[in-house]
Amino acid sequence: MARPRKFEEERAVEAAMRAFWADGYEATSTQELCDATGLGRSSIYNTFRSKHDLFEKALVHYMDVKTANIIRVLEDGGRPVRERLRTILEWAVEPEPGDPAGCLVVNTMVELAPRDETVAERLKRDERRRLTALTAAVEEGMRSGEIDRSRDARALAHFVVSTVSGMRVVARGGADERTLASIADTAMNAI
């Protein structure tokens, strides 16, 4: 019995996401996508219309999974807010085993967003979701006394996003875990 088409598409999007994450949009060839997904060239184009369409689906999948995980941690009222923020920073120190270095969102911001309005808008929507959740967590920390109430919650949320993004960039550039941990420690001291 053949596998359902929906399953095949999801598996292909996941595999393509990892290929784009590792090498970027421009550097990932159609042949590399065929190798990664196990699909032939015609199957890729019949299913996804274009490399760009497949990339957008892969980017949306990445943002859905990663942002959902961030929001889940930030909304975990059973843990202190500072511990939740520390968890987000630690994910940049120790990514999941097997994940490519860096961040597909950050890489895409640099590579495509300046010249691709559709991708830029997707990235902005995702950033708004993360900033809203981070701001709410910081405000909760201010109410509980974990974070200084005189601080600007939105500015701290932007600081966390920028710090994590920077950590992903230096990780892609070869920074070791010790360096990344020191950045996370410095960020926590600044919050």
Q: Model confidence over 71-111: pLDDT tens digits?
A: 999 999 999 999 999 999 999 999 889 899 899 999 999 99
All structural domains of the chain, each given as residue ranges with its CATH number in brackets, are 59-190 (1.10.357.10)
pLDDT tens string 168-179: 999 999 999 999
Helices 117-144 + 104-111 axis angle, to 10 = 130
For residue 14, count CB atoms less than 10 angstroms from its CB and return exposed for 0-12, middle for 13-18, buried for 19 or more: middle
- Local confidence band at 6 (pLDDT 50, 70, 90 cut-offs): low
Question: What percent of the chain shows pLDDT beyond 90?
Answer: 86
Average pLDDT over residues 115-120: 96
Determine the pLDDT at residue 47: 87
Determine the pLDDT at residue 46: 86
Determine the pLDDT at residue 45: 85
Among 64, 24, 26, 51, smallest CA distance to 37 is for 51
Q: How far apart are the first and last CA of the chain?
A: 55
Q: Above 60 in pLDDT, residue 4?
A: no
pLDDT tens string 124-143: 999 999 999 999 999 999 99
Q: CA 147, CA 143: separation in Å to the nearest integer?
A: 8
Q: CA 142, CA 120: separation in Å to the nearest integer?
A: 32
- Local confidence band at 1 (pLDDT 50, 70, 90 cut-offs): very low
